[in-house]
Amino acid sequence: MQDMSTHGAGDRGNPRAAAADGLEGVVAARTTLSDVNGHEGRLTIRGYSVEELAGNTSFEEVAYLLWHGTLPKRSELDGLLETLAGYRRLPEETRGAIELAARRMGPIDALRFATASLTCDDPNPEDESPEANLERGAKLLARVPVIVATYQRLRSGQPPVEPREDLGIAANYLYGLSGREPDPAKVKGLDTYLVTVSDHGMNASTFTARVIASTASDMVSAVTGALGALKGSLHGGAPGPALEMIEAIGTPERAEAWMRDAVAHGHRLPGFGHRVYKVRDPRAEVLYQAAVALADETGEQRALELAREVERVGVQVLAEAKPGRNLNTNVEFYTALLLRELDLPRDLFTPTFAVGRTAGWTAHVLEQQATGRLIRPQSEYVGPYDTSFVPIDQR
């Protein structure tokens, strides 16, 4: 009997390593962008802990850090802000795509559809120099939030709001959604969130972007592919269910009974557990602090008190029901609370995540393009060999 594990990728008899399901433990790239230490609960972005960056730097500063490797000086940040302001106006073709999407598509489909059209005003699509690709990355960073806000306005039966040159990405996004001067406390909360989710190692959407970039495809195609990966509920779709759970529990007193019943019936508790982190997700603490700061400004403390109790009970119940699994709070838990307090519709939670992750996606594309190396993994073939062919009229 043949050992099927010695055959792979069409090369019979050529030994291959056995497949790692889900690429678990496989190192797919070397990167200087971010490091996720799941055992210690640390997220490092270009040398800085996420706790050090979030709340102390703007989203634009972190985008600059991801692209260039250093935090910007004042003159460099001013130059980036001016550049982004000049890129926010959407091409007419993209506006048309959003109008169509607002009538027929959900938010993440609409964002993917409209983003794919952003190649239409590229002055020189054949130019694959680092400078040209950095410009494309800046355009995407400027335009993705405008696409989401424009879509939301149109599907709500309201006219789009033109971006303002004097507002940064977070403030413009809130302004574009509501048409009103954004509350500084909410701008701060959103800016902290965007920094927190800007990059996170070799996650599914980032890997997708790097694979596309490795084929010598373009920046817009890579980010469009990343959005396709983000649509899946196992990657980008969980903040909504986490919020639904918190709202269903309703009061701190109901948390323990509700969550014990859910676990007893085999239901997953959204906002808990992570593929990499074996301790509390460090982004959860950052977003918790952002929610505290926002609640201090708005005076809305009840939702925060409920969330704290749900978190405490959830960790305890899961530890008892699933010992050794280390199912701690993840980024989705306080994302749900924070984005709701920013008055975002819950089906915009994932597109809002994409606004922040665009910084990381574009940085990874730039890094991958610099290597010039095609990502081409092997597969482990587990099917039959030497099957006898039978003509169609004899089958």
Q: Annotated catalytic residue: which of 61, 135, 285, 332?
A: 332
Residue with tokens 């550049």: 83
| Calpha distance 338→352 (Å, rounded) | 12
DSSP H/E element including 219: helix 219-230
Cα 213 → chain centroid? 18
| Calpha distance 344→178 (Å, rounded) | 10
What Cα–Cα distance (Å) separates residue 222 from each residue in 13, 274, 275, 325, 372? 35, 25, 24, 34, 15
Does the active-site annotation cover 332? yes
Q: Judge contact between 209 and 222, C-beta under 8 A.
A: yes
DSSP H/E element including 186: helix 184-196
Sheet holding 48-49, edge to edge: 34-37, 42-45, 48-49
Does the active-site annotation cover 92? no
Q: Is 250 helix (H, G, I), strand (E, B) or coil?
A: coil
DSSP-derived pairing of the beta strands 42-45 and 34-37:
antiparallel
User: What is the DSSP code (8-state) at residue 13?
Assistant: T
Token pair belonging to 140: 């995407």
Q: Annotated catalytic residue: which of 60, 61, 200, 274?
A: 274
What Cα–Cα distance (Å) separates residue 216 from each residue in 125, 227, 287? 12, 19, 36
Which residues are marked as active site? 274, 332
